Structure 1
Amino acid sequence: MDGIELEIVWSNLISIVSEQAKALQRIAFSPIVREAGDLANALFDRQGRMVAQAVTGTPGHINSLAAAGKHFVDAFPTQTLREGDVLITNDPWLSAGHFFDITVMLPAFHKGKLIGFFGSTIHHTDIGGYGVGAGARDVHEEGLWIPMLKLYDAGEPNQTLHHMIRTNVRTPDHVFGDLAAQVSSARLACKRLSALLDRQGYDDIDELSEEIISRSEKATRESIRKLKPGTYHGESSFDVPGGDVITLKTAVTVDAKDGTITIDFTGSSGPSPHGINVVMNYTHAYSTFAIRSCLDPELPNNFGSLAPIKVVAPEGCIVNCKYPAPVNARHVVGMYVPMPILKALYHVMPDRVLAEGSGAVWTIQIQGKNANGTPFTSSMFNYSGGMGARQTKSGPSATCYPTGVAAVPVEVLEASMPILFTRKEIREGSGGAGASRGGDGQIIQWRMRTDSDWLLNAVASRTSLPPEGLDGGAPGEAGRFLVNGKSVSEARKMVMKAGDDVTLETPGGGGYGRG
């Protein structure tokens, strides 16, 4: 395909999926989607291969969505699909790793012919069951499991599924508002793609998809071939709610001949009894993100550029968990996946990696009753610590890495539930010293404006083991989770009293190099 034509069409595809994401964000009900950007949007070809992704979104969602594409095509052969069909699942092992992330896939038609799919994954307000925390004992306690089904069949709602969802969640209007946002934004993208094909005189995207994917794969392999071949090792340990220590070990093998990189997690911790286990889709998502962000971040992120990166882990270990392991707080471990990989890559490209950071965002979910007795369930909201330093730059403070989500503004939270924030500031000096200093964490303090007991799911990590520095840099400070001034480390949902004061002090990032 002509290079100029390809570039024009490619920029149009990126605009289409980015418009899909912006539309979804504008009309979503959940603050974590609308305000924090906890979402992913992508275009797939008829084979279920991700062709293009939106410019916004989290790596855990985007690359898990990429893996889900093939599962949808396997479950719903393309010849069986009709215009108006909408596909759905939140199966942790087929999509994004826990029930709260619902994936919706809408078949795109042009002139009566199926040409591809537009998909999205977002974090929903509620999915019933235990909630966001890590306290469930198996996956069935964690909420409603939606297998691969049709949400709409030829434009008609699947009433049985709609009733099942509505009667199994605490906030059905919010859930269906977000589902409607996913469907309508995908329909918009379908219209934009059909208009593009008319302008270009294409009947489908088959040739375009093949060209984009093959070029992306070729360029990625060429970038890998420039690296020093060999196997490099990295290890990262961190504490999780309840006090357990998790260790992730990686062996990163660069095969310059084939142009591939293999990441092996052999030696990592075994499964956890708490809901912090990680499915392979999610592990693969953050592993490939770590490699891609260091290797050649300017290349498109699609099926082709992901293909040369292989990820393996022992079956049943904490980053390749098996049914029925609980997974609802899988981000607590999953967001640490890049850390040992970056330590291994330090031996190959020290100028492109960063020291350990705070890792997983600290997630909060609150349930209780308003003053008039009506119940409320907050959407999950996140707080970040400091990023690790880079070789020539300090780490950013209070930045969600590697997820990339934003914090929901306190004004939005105070307007949506009876919460009062009394403090939110940078935790000065919590970043590790070095030639480049680690980013600082933050301090957040609040209490509830309610006269009755309330429930708190708070998932805080790195409260005893701080982020390590790199190349002689000093570690950052560990975090602190305080209730009424006393330290807490709890994996399960906590019953709180009216007037209880909660303080979060998130970790600082590690420094890089000797100061």
Structure 2
Amino acid sequence: EKEVPIAYFGSTIHHTDVGGYGIGAGGRDCFEEGLWIPICKLMKEGQRNEDVWKFILSNVRQPDHMAGDLHAQMASGEVGAQRLLALCENHGMQDIEDLSDEIVQRSEEATRASIKELKAGSYASSALLDLADGSKIDIVCSMKVDTQAGEIIVDYEGTSEASPWGINVVENYTHAYTTFTVRSVLNPDIPNNFGSLKPIKMRAPKGSIVNAVLPQPGTARHVVGMFLPNALLKALAQVKPESSMAEGSGAVWTMQVNGTHEDGTPFITAMFTYAGGVGARESKPGLSACSYPTGVAAVPIEVVEASAPIYFRRKELRQGSGGGGAQTGGLGQTIEFSVDTDNYWELNAVTSRLSDPPQGIFGGDSGASGSFQVNGKSVKTQNRIKLEAGDVIRLDLPGGGGYGES
């Protein structure tokens, strides 16, 4: 009997690098940022497609790390396949078509029902994001609630044009953060699938920072993507204030260090990230040093120190950085680190919210803005920077805005 596929499994991973500029916002176009690999097979009939493997591993800085991570991704797909087949066998199913259709249908109906409970109308909002070089990005959105159709339409007309830095976002990335934000306010218990996403429509001007086109760079797209909810939540707060929240620190700050050991052998770290404070909610204070909306965790400093000659001098919550209010915004954090080397080293750092702090809501105070310094002096660029032995990096991450009047 001929076997037929009943499902596909996918996984996403941050590899150490994919060639090119590396992890950072300094690439001038997408071709400079790394490899663009067309759809192809890593494996064929259970065997490695060696031409593809050689092509990829020849273009990255740490091929052993890349190979291990690719095998881990393939293993995750294999485990998923085994468990799905076991599920089908246990329940006497040949496939999951009927089950999937039912889940999708129920999810769509539940989402539309949640939208119909809102107040119909159009609601406008915006949020301002600043970068290390002083440039500012305005995220503008309008949200239309159609209670007849049970649909929400989010339009980003008026948002800033694409940036020369590698922080631009493609349309599907904007769509993902938009639908997540809307769903988290409406009914977060509804499964994430085609049905729950269908009633949420999105429009983004082509060529804007939220709908980039080739060859605009976007390696550090998380800077804008993770900031988007700050604007959209303000619109949602006008129809469902009890489920919304104040502005938070926005995107995690990402760091990647590379250099050479004393014996001349090179090192490069995987990306390590740090989060500021989350905005306060109606009934709870904001979370401290927590990434919203992704929830991505920081790599423990012991792991970072073991992977490269980096040592951390300080890592603590930034007291007083959360905005005041009926509920206080979450705290940012302060981090200091150096590299134990006699040679020069390089830092790829992506930061934001260094001058315009996270805003409070409904009378709450703003959180503290962030600070990125080398040896006590502010850094004014998004490019990779070259440093020397003994240089000290200090990060003061923003605090979240407060909710309601004190």
Q: CA deviation at 1:206?
A: 1.0
1:246 matched residue in structure 2 = 137
TM-score by length of 2: 0.98
2:208 matched residue in structure 1 = 317
Letter in 2 for 1:507: P
Per-residue CA deviations over 1:62-91 (Å, capped at 9, x if unaligned) read xxxxxxxxxxxxxxxxxxxxxxxxxxxxxx
Moved more, 157-166 or 244-253: 157-166
Letter in 2 for 1:149: C
Matches within 5 A, 1:130-149: 130-149=21-40
1:281 is aligned, of 148, 164, 172, to 172
Conserved? CA contact 1:269–1:317, under 8 Å? yes
Conserved? CA contact 1:270–1:317, under 8 Å? yes
Conserved? CA contact 2:237–2:244, under 8 Å? yes
CA distance in 1, matches of 2:117, 2:194: 21
1:492 matched residue in structure 2 = 383
1:298 matched residue in structure 2 = 189
CA distance in 2, matches of 1:177, 1:143: 19
Per-residue CA deviations over 1:288-337 (Å, capped at 9, x if unaligned) read 11001100001111111111111111100000000000001111111111
2:368 is aligned, of 477, 480, 487, to 477
Alpha-carbon spacing, 1:510–1:111, altered in 2? closer, same or farther (3 Å): farther
Conserved? CA contact 1:240–1:332, under 8 Å? no
2:349 aligned with 1:461: no
Conserved? CA contact 2:224–2:251, under 8 Å? yes
Residue 356 of structure 1: SS of its match in structure 2? coil
Q: CA deviation at 1:154?
A: 2.1
Q: CA deviation at 1:403?
A: 1.6
Conserved? CA contact 1:239–1:246, under 8 Å? yes
CA distance in 2, matches of 1:217, 1:149: 33
Per-residue CA deviations over 1:158-178 (Å, capped at 9, x if unaligned) read 211111101100011111111
Letter in 1 for 2:118: L
1:101 matched residue in structure 2 = none
2:264 matched residue in structure 1 = 373
2:147 aligned with 1:256: yes
Q: CA deviation at 1:470?
A: 0.4
Residue 236 of structure 1: SS of its match in structure 2? strand
Q: Percent identity?
A: 55
1:153 matched residue in structure 2 = 44
1:46 matched residue in structure 2 = none
Q: CA deviation at 1:407?
A: 1.0
Matches within 5 A, 1:134-283: 134-283=25-174
1:427 matched residue in structure 2 = 318
CA distance in 1, matches of 2:364, 2:2: 60
Q: CA deviation at 1:198?
A: 1.1
Matches within 5 A, 1:494-509: 494-509=385-400
Letter in 2 for 1:127: V
Per-residue CA deviations over 1:242-287 (Å, capped at 9, x if unaligned) read 2110000010111111111111000000011110100111111111
Residue 120 of structure 1: SS of its match in structure 2? coil
Residue 349 of structure 2: SS of its match in structure 1? strand
Conserved? CA contact 2:332–2:397, under 8 Å? yes
TM-score by length of 1: 0.78
Per-residue CA deviations over 1:212-270 (Å, capped at 9, x if unaligned) read 11111111111111111111111000101321100000101111111111110000000
CA distance in 1, matches of 2:2, 2:121: 51
Per-residue CA deviations over 1:171-199 (Å, capped at 9, x if unaligned) read 11111111101101111111111111111
CA distance in 2, matches of 1:218, 1:153: 41
1:82 matched residue in structure 2 = none
1:448 matched residue in structure 2 = 339
Q: CA deviation at 1:126?
A: 1.1
CA distance in 1, matches of 2:80, 2:402: 43
Per-residue CA deviations over 1:393-445 (Å, capped at 9, x if unaligned) read 11111111112101111001111110000000000000111111111100000
Q: How many residues in Structure 1 have an aligned counterpart in Structure 2? A: 406
Residue 128 of structure 1: SS of its match in structure 2? coil
Conserved? CA contact 2:123–2:235, under 8 Å? yes
Conserved? CA contact 1:460–1:489, under 8 Å? no
Unaligned runs of 5+ in 2: none
2:198 is aligned, of 302, 307, 325, to 307
Runs of 4+ in 1 over 3 A off after TM superposition: none
CA distance in 2, matches of 1:200, 1:376: 50
CA distance in 1, matches of 2:76, 2:222: 26
2:277 matched residue in structure 1 = 386
CA distance in 1, matches of 2:234, 2:126: 7
Residue 123 of structure 1: SS of its match in structure 2? coil
Residue 508 of structure 1: SS of its match in structure 2? coil
Residue 13 of structure 2: SS of its match in structure 1? strand
Conserved? CA contact 2:11–2:76, under 8 Å? no
Per-residue CA deviations over 1:424-475 (Å, capped at 9, x if unaligned) read 0000000111111111100000000111011101111000110011011110
Letter in 2 for 1:448: V
Letter in 1 for 2:309: P
Conserved? CA contact 1:213–1:304, under 8 Å? yes
CA distance in 2, matches of 1:430, 1:111: 62
2:256 aligned with 1:354: no
Residue 141 of structure 1: SS of its match in structure 2? helix
Unaligned runs of 5+ in 1: 1-109
